[in-house]
Structure 1
Amino acid sequence: MLLLIHFPLDPASRKVRILLKEKGMAFELREERAWERHEEFLALSPGGDLPVLIEADGKPIADAGAIVEYLEETGPAPSLYGTEPRARAEVRRLAAWFDRKFQREVTANLLDEKIGRRIMGKGTPDSSAIRAGILNLKTHLDYIGWLADRRTWLAGDSFSMADISAAAQLSCIDYLGDVPWDDHQGARDWYQRVKSRPSLRPLLGDRIPGAPPPTHYADLDF
């Protein structure tokens, strides 16, 4: 069976977990605190990045992007990118938007400050970073709502890696209770559909000791 080395509130880890579930692939989880830089872990992921996928033969694949591409090439249907070249390009564009832009503008300012600093023992959060993250989050929620109002899913007619990438990031921020859902109905409606999918439900059971999520976090109806 596949083994995924992950951290529960790591968006990249969540992205791969959702993909594996969408493809119906059985896997086990092993939690790793990458910042502790254990030698055994660094031997599998020289860059110290999560997640790492270990195949049944023991061979590792590190980096979420590499893992996603590998699973798309070797795993079962359905494709989470689609088949038509232009549609696949749009999925990749939006997946990169959330993997990089949302991560940089929102996740790094909220999750890393509120949870990351605490569990890594790096002191108190930077209030200016948190304010920036909250402001940036509203812009991203507006964009999600704009996309969801014009398409069935974020990139088009089918659920795709664009939705998975967005949900992986946003579910971590929702764990903090920082998402103003009532002010962004379009994004809320989209996320409600996403978190009702069987592939996302296991993530809603994740808990960080001493930092519980808000009561609506695991509620499929908010």
Structure 2
Amino acid sequence: MAQDRPTIRLYHYPLSPFSRKVRLVLAEKRIEVELVEERYWEKEAEFLRRNPAGKVPVLRLGSRMMSESTAICEYLDETHPEPLLMPKSPEARYEVRRLVGWFDDKFHREVTEKLVGERVFRKIMGTGYPDSGNVKSGAKAIKWHLRYMEHLLEQRRWLAGGEMTLADFSAAAHISCLDYISDVDWNLSETVKDWYAKIKSRPAFRGILADTVPGFQPAPHYADLDF
């Protein structure tokens, strides 16, 4: 008798770009998963047993708990290689990893934290009102980052090269969180807008576009594929 498939469950938060990155990979590879929303900042003992770092996402595979979004994504790419999201050559994999690090570190620190963090998470976490200085800093920084993305996309079909990779999902995870609260000025770059329209139109993005956060309505164009 065939063994039952292990339970696949993702503990996530809808406006966590790291959670979204893993969700995009799971959906792109058509891996069925149960989504469990986790208010990770409350540091519940049960969640800390799943991930002592207290961060989302956490992927449960049977009895195994996996944390750190990029490590999860690369594991999924190796165990479910269709479609491949990490290139085969060391040079191409380096570029993907460089850009994943760029968005998950520099972009997150300079933009996502200062816009989504201030406008949304301060309220839901109950940590006070948005810091206007941080919001202004994030609004300024995103313009620079969009120009950098435009620079890459003027030379390549996708961010890291000729094929869609984990770098695109990492960038799109952050951009989609910002777009939810209408913090992306799409008039700044037609090139970046075209890239986002391509990735936003993929079936893997449907779950992301259906997200809602109580108390925060998505931007009117958020789920519009012809925005």
State which of 133, 136, 147 in structure 2 corresponds to 1:131.
Answer: 136
Aligned residue for 1:218, secondary structure, equals: coil
Matches within 5 A, 1:1-222: 1-55=7-61, 57-222=62-227
Matched AA of 2:68: D
Matches of 2:102 and 2:205 in 1, distance apart? 20
What CA RMSD, in Å, does the superposition of the two structures yield over aligned residues? 1.0
Q: Is the 8 A contact 1:91 1:160 kept in 2?
A: yes
Aligned residue for 2:154, secondary structure, equals: helix
Matches of 1:98 and 1:50 in 2, distance apart? 17
**What percent of counterpart residues are identical?**
49
Matches of 1:59 and 1:211 in 2, distance apart? 34
Query: Structure 1 residues 182-191 or 156-165, which shifts more?
Result: 182-191
Distance apart, 1:69 and its partner CA: 2.4
Distance apart, 1:149 and its partner CA: 1.6
CA offsets, 1:35-80, max 9 Å, x none? 011111000000001000001x221111212212221222232221
CA offsets, 1:11-47, max 9 Å, x none? 0000000011111211110000000111110000000
Unaligned runs of 5+ in 2: 1-6
Q: Is the 8 A contact 1:146 1:186 kept in 2?
A: no
Matches of 1:49 and 1:66 in 2, distance apart? 14
Matches of 2:82 and 2:209 in 1, distance apart? 25
Q: Is the 8 A contact 2:27 2:204 kept in 1?
A: yes
Matches of 1:156 and 1:66 in 2, distance apart? 21
Matches of 2:213 and 2:167 in 1, distance apart? 26
Q: Is the 8 A contact 1:195 1:220 kept in 2?
A: yes
Distance apart, 1:167 and its partner CA: 0.2
Aligned residue for 1:73, secondary structure, equals: helix
Matches of 2:170 and 2:81 in 1, distance apart? 19
**TM-score for the superposition, normalised by structure 2:** 0.95
Matches of 1:191 and 1:36 in 2, distance apart? 33
Q: Provide the aligned length of Structure 1 versus Structure 2.
A: 221
Matches of 2:160 and 2:71 in 1, distance apart? 21
Matches of 1:189 and 1:68 in 2, distance apart? 25
**TM-score for the superposition, normalised by structure 1:** 0.97
Q: Is the 8 A contact 2:74 2:86 kept in 1?
A: no
Matches of 1:65 and 1:91 in 2, distance apart? 11
CA offsets, 1:165-200, max 9 Å, x none? 000001000111011101221111111111001111
Q: Is the 8 A contact 2:57 2:67 kept in 1?
A: yes
Matches of 2:115 and 2:58 in 1, distance apart? 24
Q: Is the 8 A contact 2:103 2:171 kept in 1?
A: yes
Matches of 1:35 and 1:19 in 2, distance apart? 24
Distance apart, 1:160 and its partner CA: 0.2
Query: Structure 1 residues 152-161 or 61-70, which shifts more?
Result: 61-70
Aligned residue for 1:4, secondary structure, equals: strand
